[in-house]
A and B are shown apart, each in its own frame.
Chain A
Amino acid sequence: MSFIEIDNNKCKSCYLCIDVCPFKLIKKSETIGKTGQNIVEFKDENSKCSACKMCAMMCPDIAITKVWKT
């Protein structure tokens, strides 16, 4: 089960990762971040994540700090 780690303090809610995920596993969360907007969260209930790391490559603030592949 591959997964990513998101640093909530670094996310600035630009939502570029939401557009780039091929399986739409990243969504807006209920948590309010430092910029006053909803930050993103990673939800992978059906173990679809393939660790393509496109979200990590696209994140301009390095908020996606680690990608794990199994």
Chain B
Amino acid sequence: MQQVYSTPKSIKKDSTFTFCAGCDHGLAIKLVAEVLDELNLRENTIAVASSGCSVFLYDFLDVDCIESPHGRACAVATGIKRAHRALNEEKFVFTYQGDGDFASIGLSESLHSALRGENISVICINNTNYGMTGGQMGPTTVLGQHTTTSPNGRNVKYHGYPIKTAEQIALCDGTCFSARVALCDIKNIINAKEQIKKCFEYQKQNLGFSFVEILSSCPTNWKLSPSDSHKKIKEELSEIYPLKVFKDIKEND
């Protein structure tokens, strides 16, 4: 008898995720942990958590974590990376943020980290609202989506257009890798893991700012069942937010 699957070692033993049932945050953290195991980075990693549902990262991942002010995860990660480099220590630094954190409150920090070509990795969870505070309209809320602060649906004249984070980051010259993935079915989960692995490997090779946006479900605030929200990602959201690699500087090699 052979064991073909086990809990990743980078997940703390006996920790239970505190997310809602069916939330893709758990899947994303699991994939990050699996990649950290495969690249053997666990002992050398500093994770930067931010505010939002992603705040609980330090409860689940068995790596060194630091908590940053709302939206400032990229700035904190920059400081950690540069301070350790000044001490001739090479640490692996990644941030784990939500879309409201990365693309709204911390847009300036995030964009300028990408423009500086800061050698950090960023995982951004895009669930099209502010999940933790009760589903308010976020920067990525799609047109027509009903949230608690846009009860008649998001409309262009009043609220403007949603931001497409992965495309914007790909436009920055300091970015080495920018991709958007989803976690709605097995094929996409396998692809997501590959892209996260690539994102982390590029930081190890000192290539610059690497970014993965994960299209994630929020069953509680979308008021759908977990399987229906995966269906929504597959059929509706992936049309608006195309799933592909937008920038890969090693692609032409």
A58-B189, A61-B17, A65-B6 known; A16-B226 Cβ under 8 A? yes
A12-B22, A60-B26, A61-B16 known; A67-B4 Cβ under 8 A? yes
- Contacting pair B5 A16 (CB below 8 A): no
Q: Which residues of A contact B25 (CB under 8 A)?
A: 60
What 0/1 readout, one digit per residue, does chain A (19-32) give for beta carbons within 8 Å of chain B? Answer: 11000000000000
Q: Which residues of B contact A19 (CB under 8 A)?
A: 227
Chain A-chain B contacts (Cβ-Cβ < 8 Å), number: 74
Q: Which residues of A contact B226 (CB under 8 A)?
A: 14-16
What 0/1 readout, one digit per residue, does chain B (5-22) give for beta carbons within 8 Å of chain A? Answer: 111000100001101111
- Counting contact residues on chain B (CB < 8 A from A), the size range is 20 to 34
User: Residue of A at shortest CB range from B217?
Assistant: A60
- Contacting pair B30 A62 (CB below 8 A): yes
A61-B16, A66-B6 known; A15-B227 Cβ under 8 A? yes
A15-B226, A16-B226, A20-B186 known; A60-B4 Cβ under 8 A? no
Which chain B residues (48-93) contact chain A, with CB distance < 8 Å?
none
Docked complex Cα distance between A69 and B185 (Å): 23
- Counting contact residues on chain A (CB < 8 A from B), the size range is 20 to 34
- Contacting pair B3 A10 (CB below 8 A): no
User: Residue of B at shortest CB range from A35?
Assistant: B21
- Is B249's CB within 8 Å of the partner chain A? no
User: Residue of A at shortest CB range from B5?
Assistant: A67
- Is A70's CB within 8 Å of the partner chain B? yes
Partner of B22, one of A57, A60, A64, A69: A60
Docked complex Cα distance between A69 and B1 (Å): 6
Docked complex Cα distance between A12 and B22 (Å): 8
What 0/1 readout, one digit per residue, does chain A (32-70) give for beta carbons within 8 Å of chain B? Answer: 000100000000000000010110111111101111111
- Contacting pair B16 A10 (CB below 8 A): yes
A14-B226, A16-B227 known; A60-B17 Cβ under 8 A? yes
- Is B24's CB within 8 Å of the partner chain A? yes
A22 vs chain B, min Cβ distance (A): 10
B191 vs chain A, min Cβ distance (A): 12
Q: Which residues of A contact B6 (CB under 8 A)?
A: 65-66
A16-B226, A16-B227, A67-B4 known; A60-B11 Cβ under 8 A? no
B188 vs chain A, min Cβ distance (A): 11
Given A12-B21, A14-B22, A16-B226, 18 further pairs, Cβ under 8 A:
A15-B225, A16-B22, A54-B186, A57-B190, A58-B186, A60-B19, A60-B22, A60-B24, A60-B27, A62-B17, A64-B5, A65-B6, A65-B7, A66-B3, A66-B5, A66-B6, A66-B7, A68-B4
Which B residues have a C-beta under 8 Å from some C-beta of A?
1-7, 11, 16-17, 19-27, 30, 185-186, 189-190, 219, 225-227, 230
